[in-house]
Chains A and B, each alone.
Chain A
């Protein structure tokens, strides 16, 4: 095991409009390395495999516990979180790239703000009257809480969007995460009050109809959010609304 190494290559890009290039690295193997620790290793000694001096890799990260949603990138071609990607489970040379469907800021950093815009568009919140003391919240049965909790763990990493064949510039598809969040708030006893607005929003261009049901989203979601179920569920809600609107409005 003495001279076992880890080989990896990183697709880098100096700025949003620069040409991407690859840097290859090789570092001594240690037990328990994850992809983030490879970057830390490079920062300590920014030299490529060929001995060329380079710069530390730029990437987003924060919690390193797969709960903040920062460190999403393509690892061996797949959208996933770098902090929970253990070197031992990856084929080498490990190929690391930024997300392909989001504007690259630098190296592995991409701009994922579109998801936050989408959450705004569907009003993904409970519209409380105010923060003053208004007594306890509505009663919620444990079964309902369990359902809600599953959805509420979405960390906005955008893996589901990156992997979705329908999420691209020509469709402007909203992506699975936002649909699941709309479902979450439509489920809440008070959040429901905005249900119609949320559904109307999701029937707009780029809305739920763009989903082609490839189910990649649910396969790649690191938090195992029931995305396809949510899409179907909200799919039913929008159809009901469409039909009722047709006859009643």
Chain B
């Protein structure tokens, strides 16, 4: 049919595709991501912060807590399935989410959008920080499973440089914020808190919790840094009696 059109070069680009109704698995993966952020990763963060705060009760108390944790039964399996794998999944899928979002906080400098953006950047930050922290505290240096009584010493050595204190403080803030706000996101997305006012409250609560945990963390760091330097326990250079029973790698303090 003849027409007045110049149809060449005028096909519309496809644009964002419509909903793929009822197909695919991203729902499962995305919700799993959300869930792992709370259980177990978030719970573990809580436990970890509280355990660390044992330092406020003195070096012996802290070392004792490490001993208790490293002594838990099935510790390795707990670590792998309760922490490492979920953490890795949460981190990896999180990066994928971050990569696919189109940050527009410059144009829409709105509160929720800032928090959305922060959630992405804190996530990446925490990921880097945790990797570093694991490396220095869990996989290298004195093995605390074998030498729980060197725990305080190890932490203090790690925090010897002011730069390191800064790194830890920032990591702490990022992790706690990410968790606190993530808790709100969880409640909102899973339809636990749905009302408009209720959500405002939940958001404030989430952030408050994050900040509170940060405070706890900072006090803990402060406590480590200001406490007189701990001896590296002389025991560790000679074979300890129980040592043979503690064969598996371990750690919790990171």
Most buried by A among B9, B19, B104, B190: B19
A237 vs B119: C-alpha distance in the bound complex, in angstroms?
25
CB<8 Å pairs between A and B, sample of 29: A16-B13, A111-B15, A163-B107, A169-B16, A170-B99, A172-B19, A200-B22, A201-B21, A204-B22, A205-B20, A205-B27, A207-B19, A207-B20, A213-B112, A213-B116, A213-B185, A215-B112, A216-B108, A216-B112, A216-B116, A218-B112, A219-B112, A228-B112, A229-B194, A229-B195, A229-B196, A232-B199, A235-B188, A235-B190
In chain A, residues 140-188, which have Cβ atoms closer than 8 Å to a Cβ of chain B?
Answer: 161, 163, 165-174, 178
In chain A, residues 54-109, which have Cβ atoms closer than 8 Å to a Cβ of chain B?
Answer: 77-78, 101-103, 105
Q: Which chain B residues border A169 with CB–CB below 8 Å?
A: 15-17
State whether B10 touches A16 (Cβ < 8 A).
yes
State whether B189 touches A216 (Cβ < 8 A).
no
| A10 interfacial by beta-carbon distance below 8 Å | no
State whether B10 touches A121 (Cβ < 8 A).
no
**Do A239 and B191 form a contact, CB below 8 Å, given A168-B16, A172-B20?**
yes
Q: Mark B180-194, 1 if CB is under 8 A from A, else 0.
A: 000001001111111
Q: Which chain B residues border A111 with CB–CB below 8 Å?
A: 12, 15
Q: Which chain B residues border A105 with CB–CB below 8 Å?
A: 12
- Category for how many chain B residues contact A: 35 or more
**Do A15 and B189 form a contact, CB below 8 Å, given A122-B21, A173-B16, A201-B22?**
no
Q: Mark A205-220, 1 if CB is under 8 A from B, else 0.
A: 1111111111110111
Q: How far is the CB of A18 from chain B (nearest CB, A)?
A: 8
Chain A's closest residue to B24 (CB) is A205
State whether B191 touches A237 (Cβ < 8 A).
yes
State whether A16 touches B12 (Cβ < 8 A).
yes
State whether B101 touches A213 (Cβ < 8 A).
no
Please pick, from A122, A215, A229, the residue contacting B110 in the complex, using a CB distance under 8 A. Answer: A215
**Do A235 and B10 form a contact, CB below 8 Å, given A78-B108, A169-B16?**
no
Chain A's closest residue to B112 (CB) is A215
Q: Which chain B residues border A173 with CB–CB below 8 Å?
A: 16
**Do A204 and B23 form a contact, CB below 8 Å, given A228-B199, A233-B191, A236-B190?**
yes
State whether A201 touches B110 (Cβ < 8 A).
no
State whether A121 touches B108 (Cβ < 8 A).
no
Q: How far is the CB of B130 from chain A (nearest CB, A)?
A: 21
Chain B's closest residue to A110 (CB) is B15
| A131 interfacial by beta-carbon distance below 8 Å | no
Known: A169-B15, A229-B196. 20 other contacts (CB 8 A): A103-B15, A111-B12, A111-B15, A114-B18, A165-B116, A165-B117, A167-B16, A169-B17, A171-B100, A172-B20, A174-B19, A204-B20, A204-B24, A210-B30, A214-B112, A214-B116, A215-B112, A219-B110, A219-B113, A232-B189
State whether B15 touches A204 (Cβ < 8 A).
no
Q: Size of chain A's interface in residues, with CB distance under 8 A?
A: 63
Q: How far is the CB of A112 from chain B (nearest CB, A)?
A: 9
| A242 interfacial by beta-carbon distance below 8 Å | yes
**Do A121 and B18 form a contact, CB below 8 Å, given A229-B199, A233-B191?**
yes
Q: Which chain B residues border A168 with CB–CB below 8 Å?
A: 16, 100-102
Q: Which A residues have a C-beta under 8 Å from some C-beta of B? A: 15-17, 77-78, 101-103, 105, 111, 114, 117-118, 121-122, 161, 163, 165-174, 178, 197, 200-216, 218-220, 226, 228-229, 231-240, 242
A202 vs B21: C-alpha distance in the bound complex, in angstroms?
6
Closest 10 CB pairs of A and B: A236-B191, A215-B112, A205-B24, A214-B116, A201-B21, A117-B18, A209-B30, A121-B21, A232-B194, A174-B19
Q: How far is the CB of A30 from chain B (nearest CB, A)?
A: 29
Chief secondary structure at chain B's binding surface: loop
In chain B, residues 95-134, which have Cβ atoms closer than 8 Å to a Cβ of chain A?
Answer: 97, 99-104, 106-108, 110-113, 115-117, 119
Q: How far is the CB of B38 from chain A (nearest CB, A)?
A: 13
**Do A103 and B12 form a contact, CB below 8 Å, given A216-B112, A239-B191?**
yes
Please pick, from A114, A207, A209, A234, the residue contacting B16 in the complex, using a CB distance under 8 A. Answer: A114
State whether B14 touches A215 (Cβ < 8 A).
no
**Do A231 and B18 form a contact, CB below 8 Å, given A16-B12, A111-B12, A165-B116?**
no
Q: Which chain B residues border A202 with CB–CB below 8 Å?
A: 19, 21
Please pick, from A102, A114, A171, A234, the residue contacting B191 in the complex, using a CB distance under 8 A. Answer: A234
Please pick, from B11, B101, B190, the residue contacting A16 in the complex, using a CB distance under 8 A. Answer: B11
